[in-house]
A and B are shown apart, each in its own frame.
Chain A
Amino acid sequence: MARMKRAGGLRLGAATLLVAFAVGLGVAKADGPVTFVGWGGEGQDAMKKAWADPYEAASGVKVLQDSPTDYGKFKAMVESGNVTWDVVDVEGSFAYKAAAEGLLEPLDFSVIDKTNLDPNFVFDHGVGSLTWSWVLAYNKTSLGDKTPEGWAAFFDTKTYPGGRAVTKWLAPGMLEAALLADGVPADKLYPLDIDRAFKKFDSIKKDIVWWDSAAQSQQQVASGEAAMGMLWNGRAHLLETSGAPVTVSWKENLVTADYVVIPKGTKHKAEAMKLIAQVVSAQGQATHSALTAYGPVNTQAEALIPADVKPALPSNHTDGQIVIDLGYWEKNIDAINKRWYEWQAQ
């Protein structure tokens, strides 16, 4: 009898536990703090200083920080209805893809003022949080007195011998660089001639040194492992200022943005909108640019940025700059990605 009871008790206990567990998952306080998610590290510290801290001070609503941004987790949260992230910094291509998949809340532009925002980086489900460019960084020691400018030079391994640092992960902007190098005029890039871009990549395939993290890209160019690299401007700028023998060419820089988005089903929609309003405010953008060397999306921020930071920002190199068409990439990224892996694996 005692034995029976105990076994029954165990089963009952386990069942209770499970029910509690399931209920606990679906319940969250609606007036809790907002959670901001970034990529971690120094980048997120800058975001906290420029956006979360002023927002906290002004509204009294606490902002919790979480990292890193993880698209798998993002999707899982929205699907399960258990959303614990409120404002997430994501790559542009993901912002468009997630919006198309119905993973995002539409933004409320009566709260978020978009009058002074660069229209290239605003759409109904996301706004730019920072702009960044693909730039050409080269190692002065490897190239002697040669000074490559623009993507044609990047793909010209005869004139400029040496390795080429390229990211392993296909990203918007890479095929554009190949097409520009092959002579496609900037205003005729889209829709991309994919075959032509891959053919151009074929010509430097044996010289490519692949990188899969930004730190690695810096190391490759700084050490001369690659004579040139297609790098993020912030990383390239850090190399230039760190005393490494590296120069950055901004010719034909390809600009795009990170976006802030709100996962569908957030419990703090109103607070999240207000936090995004702070992210894209002139002061929020200016403070962030001054800390990171990534550009502002708010045109009014320019006046507030210290003069010594400006040369490093994409917003200072708009002459001949190309804006990457994220809408095009959202529709075609799966197909191009597959082709990219096939090409890499050949």
Chain B
Amino acid sequence: MQQEATAGLRAAAARMNRPARRSEGRYALPAFFFLFFLFVVPLSSLLLRSVTDPVPGLGNYAQLLTDQTYGKVLFNTFAVAGIVTIVSLALGYPVAWLLVLLPSRVARWLFAILLLSMWTNLVARTYAWLVLLQRTGVINRALMSLGLTDHPIPLVNNLIGVTIGMTYIMLPFVIFPLQTRLAAIDPAIMQVAAISGARPTQVFFRVLLPLSLPGIYAGGLMVFVMALGYYVTPAMLGGTSGMMLAELIGVQVQSLLNWGLGSAAAFILLSVTLALYALYVRSVGFGQVR
């Protein structure tokens, strides 16, 4: 009797975990149509254009991958995304941890501040950084009046400006997944580590950090992928030597009408993003993607 009940439970559990049967597939039809006509079809035509316009062949891809100018744009895109990801994680981690430690009354305020900045217009926030960072900007004026420097430091229209601006915008996207992950860790584990004689640094590197890795992956991937396609901020805060892929696509498609080249660039960006995502799902598991 007891055994039968357990077996029944097991069977039920197995049913729950089984992938949907064929007959249930029809519930996915609307979603399938939606994705097919709004994503698959346009993306196929994008791919088609990249190998047919202006002449059939792989000329656009060859140009993008061999030409020095475009090569530099590709390099910039990945370099900036990488730097921004690392800086965002380094700055976001302590904030996420703080959100976990603070009493909920205070944490709520901190959340509100983070969300408020996220809801503020992107262009306005980017422009504010410009006002702060430029040669005659607030920061340089303050530094000069304090006598710390006698000429303006170039903080904007270069990699520094882009990194600052993008990191600032990306921070919430790192903090929220990390906070979710860190909150799920049982604080007792840290106590156990401390009682067992681990120094604070050891507690961090050998207990907390490994346990929060999924959060780091999730936040890091989110930021990296978003940063790859970033347009407004690099365009406004970057120098001319730091053009990124999204801006190149914009110029080719909207001003120069070179749709073939633009499509090829867009397709490269999409492929890389999907590849990274696949890698992530394989290493962390689909369920962890939040």
Contacts and interface: CB of A to CB of B under 8 A. Distances in A.
Contacts of B157: 209-210
B136 interface: yes
B189 to A, nearest CB: 50
Given A101-B257, A337-B256, A342 B68 contact: yes
Nearest to B127: A216
A345 B69 contact: yes
Contacts of A101: 257
B258 A345 contact: no
A14 B29 contact: yes
Q: Which 6 A-B pairs have the closest CB atoms?
A: A344-B240, A72-B254, A7-B26, A342-B69, A72-B253, A345-B241
B125 interface: no
Interface of B: 23, 26, 29-30, 33, 37, 68-69, 72-73, 130, 134-136, 157, 235-236, 239-241, 243, 251, 253-259
9 contacts: A6-B26, A10-B29, A71-B257, A98-B257, A168-B240, A209-B135, A209-B157, A341-B240, A345-B73
A177 B30 CA distance: 58
B109 to A, nearest CB: 34
B37 A18 contact: yes
A224 B135 CA distance: 9
Q: Is the interface of B mostly helix, strand, loop or mixed?
A: helix
B135 A225 contact: yes
A72 B222 CA distance: 29
A212 B72 CA distance: 21
A97 B236 CA distance: 27
B254 A345 contact: no
A3 B256 contact: no
Contacts of B68: 342
Nearest to A6: B26
A147 interface: no
A10 B28 CA distance: 11
B65 to A, nearest CB: 16
A75 interface: yes
Among A14, A98, A163, the most chain B Cβ lie within 10 Å of the Cβ of A14
Given A225-B134, A341-B243, A345-B69, A75 B236 contact: no
Interface string A74-118: 010000000000000000001001100100000000000000000
B69 A338 contact: yes
Nearest to B257: A75
A83 B229 CA distance: 30
A75 B240 CA distance: 27
Contacts of B37: 18
A212 B33 CA distance: 40
Interface string A5-17: 0110011001000
Contacts of B251: 169
A223 B136 contact: yes
Contacts of B243: 341, 344-345
Contacts of A225: 134-136
B71 to A, nearest CB: 10
Contacts of B236: 212
A18 B68 CA distance: 44
Nearest to A94: B255
A345 B72 contact: yes
A41 to B, nearest CB: 14
Contacts of A169: 251, 255
Contacts of B30: 10, 14
Contacts of A241: none
Nearest to B34: A14
Given A3-B23, A210-B157, A345 B136 contact: no
Interface string A313-346: 0000000000000000000011001100110111
Nearest to B33: A14
A70 B130 CA distance: 26
Contact of B239 (A210, A216, A224, A342): A210
Contacts of A209: 135, 157
B124 to A, nearest CB: 12
Interface string A160-200: 00010000110000000000000000000000000000000
Contacts of B256: 333-334, 337
A341 B239 CA distance: 11
A284 B190 CA distance: 76
Given A10-B26, A210-B240, A344-B241, 14 more contacts: A7-B26, A10-B30, A71-B255, A75-B259, A101-B257, A169-B255, A210-B239, A212-B235, A225-B135, A337-B256, A338-B69, A342-B69, A344-B243, A345-B69
Contacts of A344: 240-241, 243
Contacts of A345: 69, 72-73, 240-241, 243
Contacts of A163: 135
B257 to A, nearest CB: 6
A98 B257 CA distance: 9
Contacts of B69: 338, 341-342, 345
A58 B168 CA distance: 54
A209 B136 CA distance: 12
Interface string A250-290: 00000000000000000000000000000000000000000
A251 B255 CA distance: 29
B254 A70 contact: yes
A11 B240 CA distance: 51
Nearest to A70: B254
B137 to A, nearest CB: 8
| Residue with the greatest number of chain A CB neighbours at <10 A, chosen from B33, B73, B257 | B257
Of the candidates A70, A337, A345, the one having the most CB atoms from chain B within 10 angstroms of its own CB is A345
